């Protein structure tokens, strides 16, 4: 019987300090494993020495494949590309910075063999991250859960194992604003988790500054929920009700009193407030319209510059 194949997908962006160590740790774990293993590194437009290091690794190891993006497309897209090119019976997604310990994959594979089709890593503790990052992450997962219609597990990143079936299903989802962990929950299948401690980054610094975290949060919320739209409508209705009442009050005053107040302050307050609400509602609309525009343009999710370590048959299938 042929050994089953495990694909390990690693998105990499400016990780020159870690990448060698990451590969060393991974090959330590899977040195003589009962499964065959392929590594797929996606170089997401790194500007440092990462790509050269990856070519070096790929040169000596037939099981290493590299997808070199033409520019930086972002973490979620890199993961998507890795899943597109992975051939394994199971596919594991893991960060390059060793925050997710490679040893945990062994536990994931065990659960997979028990019959689970998605095994996600649940973060018990997060080491070496700022209080701000931990706090915002925690708030975000809970807020997202309350906003969305799909049940999304909390404190779970993209570190997970998915079965071939799930991977194939994911490949059929064409959407552009990708929030991969949300999509994985959305497709269903038998899911479970393994708990692990999220370590410090081995070296280098986070590629998720606040701006990118906000974008990821936006993708999570707006791609999985219409609640913000409902919220906009709801706020609009409440405010119109109040303003209608106030309008009546104003009219009554106008006709019953002769000294109509010069009311500059109150009218300013009202107009500022309404303009604010209007802008918020417009912004929410804009989020959805923008997303619709992205989908309609139907551009490819990513552009591949070079492929290393794939056989040609493999490449044709993916084009």
Name the segment binding ligand UDP (CB under 6 A); options: 74-82, 85-93, 188-196, 242-250: 74-82
Residue 121 has which token pair? 């890593």
The C-alpha angle with vertex 245 and arms to 244 and 250, in degrees rounded to 5, equals: 95
Question: x/- string (CB under 6 A) for ligand UDP, residues 205-244?
Answer: -xxx------------------------------------
Under the criterion CB under 6 A, does residue 99 sit at the interface with ligand UDP? yes
Name the segment binding ligand UDP (CB under 6 A); options: 11-19, 31-39, 257-265, 310-318: 11-19
Under the criterion CB under 6 A, does residue 81 sit at the interface with ligand UDP? no
Under the criterion CB under 6 A, does residue 100 sit at the interface with ligand UDP? no
Under the criterion CB under 6 A, does residue 72 sit at the interface with ligand UDP? yes
Name the segment binding ligand UDP (CB under 6 A); options: 28-36, 106-114, 200-208, 265-273: 200-208
- Selection from Mg ion, ligand UDP, none that 121 binds (CB < 5 to 8 A by kind) is none
Under the criterion CB under 6 A, does residue 15 sit at the interface with ligand UDP? yes
- Selection from Mg ion, ligand UDP, none that 75 binds (CB < 5 to 8 A by kind) is ligand UDP
Cα–Cα dist 160/91, whole Å? 8
Name the segment binding ligand UDP (CB under 6 A); options: 187-195, 204-212, 232-240, 296-304: 204-212
Which residues in 11-48 are b (16+ Cβ under 10 Å) and which e? bbbbbbbbbeebbebbbebbeeeeeebbbbbbbbbbee
Strand stretches in the chain, DSSP E: 5-12, 36-43, 64-69, 90-93, 118-126, 156-163, 191-198, 304-308
Q: Is 309 left (phi over 0), alpha (psi -120 to 50) or beta?
A: left
The secondary structure of 223-291, three-state, reads HHCCHHHHHHHHHHHHHHHHHHHHHHHHHHHHHHCCCCCCCHHHHHHHHHHHHHHHHHHHHHHHHHHHH
Cα–Cα dist 153/159, whole Å? 13
- From the list 38, 84, 95, 287, which residue makes contact with ligand UDP (rule: CB under 6 A)? 95
How many residues line the site for Mg ion (CB under 5 A)? 3
Residue 134 to residues 68, 218, 222: CA-CA distances in angstroms?
31, 18, 22
Q: Tell me which residues in 89-128 interact with Mg ion (CB under 5 A).
A: 95, 97, 99
All residues at 6 or more sequence positions from 133 whose CB lies less than 8 Å from its CB, including other chains: 126, 206
- Selection from ligand UDP, Mg ion, none that 74 binds (CB < 5 to 8 A by kind) is ligand UDP
Which is nearer to ligand UDP, 54 or 194 (by Cβ)? Answer: 54
- From the list 38, 44, 163, 219, which residue makes contact with ligand UDP (rule: CB under 6 A)? 44
Residue 40 has which token pair? 């797929």
Tell me which residues touch ligand UDP (CB under 6 A): 11-13, 15, 44, 72, 74-75, 78, 95-97, 99, 206-208
Tell me which residues touch Mg ion (CB under 5 A): 95, 97, 99
């Amino acid at each position: 019987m042929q050994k089953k194949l495990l694909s390990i997908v690693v998105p990499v962006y400016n990780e020159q300090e870690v990448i060698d160590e990451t590969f060393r740790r991974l090959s330590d774990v899977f040195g003589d494993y009962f499964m065959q293993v392929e590594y797929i590194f996606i170089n997401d437009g790194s500007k440092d020495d990462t790509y050269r290091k990856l070519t070096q690794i790929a040169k000596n190891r037939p099981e290493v494949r590299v997808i070199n993006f033409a520019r930086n497309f972002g973490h979620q897209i890199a993961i998507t590309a890795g899943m597109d090119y992975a051939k394994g019976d199971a596919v594991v997604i893991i960060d390059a910075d060793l925050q997710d310990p490679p040893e945990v994959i062994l536990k994931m594979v065990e659960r997979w063999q028990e019959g689970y089709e998605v095994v996600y890593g649940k973060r018990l503790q997060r080491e070496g991250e700022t209080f701000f990052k931990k706090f915002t992450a925690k708030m975000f997962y809970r807020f997202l859960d309350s906003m969305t219609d799909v049940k999304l597990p909390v404190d779970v990143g993209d570190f997970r194992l998915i079965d071939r079936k799930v991977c194939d299903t994911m490949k059929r989802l064409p959407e552009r604003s990708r929030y991969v962990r949300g999509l994985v929950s959305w497709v269903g299948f038998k899911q479970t988790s393994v708990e692990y401690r999220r370590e410090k980054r081995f070296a280098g610094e986070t590629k998720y500054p606040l701006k990118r975290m906000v974008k990821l949060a936006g993708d999570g919320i707006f791609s999985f929920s219409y609640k913000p739209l409902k919220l906009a409508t709801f706020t609009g209705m409440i405010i119109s009700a109040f303003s209608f009442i106030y309008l009546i009050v104003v009219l009554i005053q106008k006709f019953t009193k002769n000294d109509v107040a010069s009311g500059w302050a109150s009218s300013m307050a009202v107009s500022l407030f309404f303009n604010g609400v209007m802008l918020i509602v417009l912004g929410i609309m804009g989020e959805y319209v923008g997303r619709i525009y992205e989908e309609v343009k139907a551009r490819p999710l990513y552009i591949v510059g070079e492929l290393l370590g794939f056989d040609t048959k493999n490449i044709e299938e993916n084009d």
